[in-house]
Amino acid sequence: MKLRIVKPLSVLLVAVMIVCNAVIQVCAEAAGMPVQINAKSAVLVDVSSGEVLAAMNEHEQLYPASVTKIMTLLLVMEAIESGTLNLNDTVIASATAAAKGGSQIWLKEGEAMSVDELLRATAIYSANDACEALGEHIAGSEEALVAMLNERAVQLGMKNTHFDNCTGLDDATDTHLTTAYDIALMSVELLKYDLIRKYTTVWMDSLRDGATQLVNTNKLIRFYQGATGLKTGTTSKAGCCVAASAERDGTHLVAVVMGSPTSDDRFNAAKALLNWGFANYETVTLVPDEALLAEVNVIGGYKDRFKPVVEPISPLLMKKGSADVLEQSVQLVTDVQAPVIAGETVGTLTFSVGGKSVAEYRIVSPEEIKKLDFLEILRRLLSSFASFTKQ
């Protein structure tokens, strides 16, 4: 009798799961996603410019799980960059850090590890205790760390984010929330630091002389070409989440996926978004047409004219094929009054496709040109008079 009951129930459960997955996928298509994904929200962003290339429910507040750790990793990178933290610095685990549950390296209260070791444990294995120890070392306490996390989120423009901790553990909170878009913002900021790749691109490592094994929770690091990181997260509330970044041929993208039913779903979604991005976009190096940059006359200066230059141009993400029809136009003054400051704007260079501007850059003076003073004017007059009399 039990067999007759269990079998129909199991079939019904499978059917419900299939329907739920289908609904999520249909919603993804309805939201205008270029690929089919199984998730509650997602976004694909260009790392260099921050441009959103594809999005679905990207501003919906959801639980981020361990993707939260991106913010602590960012604080660590910034501290190292500023010189207030060193990879060889020793960190002493607090009772709070040692008590963290979930994924961990089983730190003991008072145990000493270097910043480098704890970074490896956090970025590769997503260890909650290691992340807490690092954060407390920077901020001084758990409470101060949470304040720093939220303050940095505000600075980055993460308008729909509130952190209650640095780990993403959400059993005891209903307010630890963020969005796919906000996660993309902090991911882009973290990826500005080349050092982070030393950790986020490692597949396997170990601590404590090999006694503690570390395997990256991000399977894309091993299997996806050009993967650069970044962070996974899973809880019963959050579902399966990932911020997955990859770089190919100078194009660096990050795909954030939140609320997938399974781990495979989140990785498949991230791969689909990244594949679509690399297939449809390319990073182009723009080269100004020097013929468009006419000399600028200087009125009342030590020099009569100068050849302007374009401010430094960053590589530009464009839809594939757009570079072939790229046009340049220049707006440039004919003359300026001395004094001229080095870097002074004298015009604008515009790159456009089909009449629509895709990038604008300042045209500037490459040097300082001082205004003629009375003595110099007199000297020039005398010199001209002397030349005239010799004739």
Q: Active-site positions?
A: 66, 69, 126
Q: Which amino acid is at 176?
A: H
Q: Which amino acid is at 142?
A: E
- Please give the Cα distance from 141 to 165 (Å, whole number): 11
Report the SS3 class of residue 23.
Answer: helix
Burial of 315 from C-beta contacts in 10 A (0-12 / 13-18 / 19+): middle
- Please give the Cα distance from 76 to 138 (Å, whole number): 7
- Please give the Cα distance from 145 to 72 (Å, whole number): 9
Cis upstream peptide for 230 (omega within 30°)? yes
- Are the CB atoms for 119 and 76 separated by under 8 Å? yes
- Are the CB atoms for 196 and 120 separated by under 8 Å? no
Q: Which amino acid is at 154?
A: V
The number of C-alpha atoms within 13 Å of 41 and in the hemisphere containing its C-beta is 18
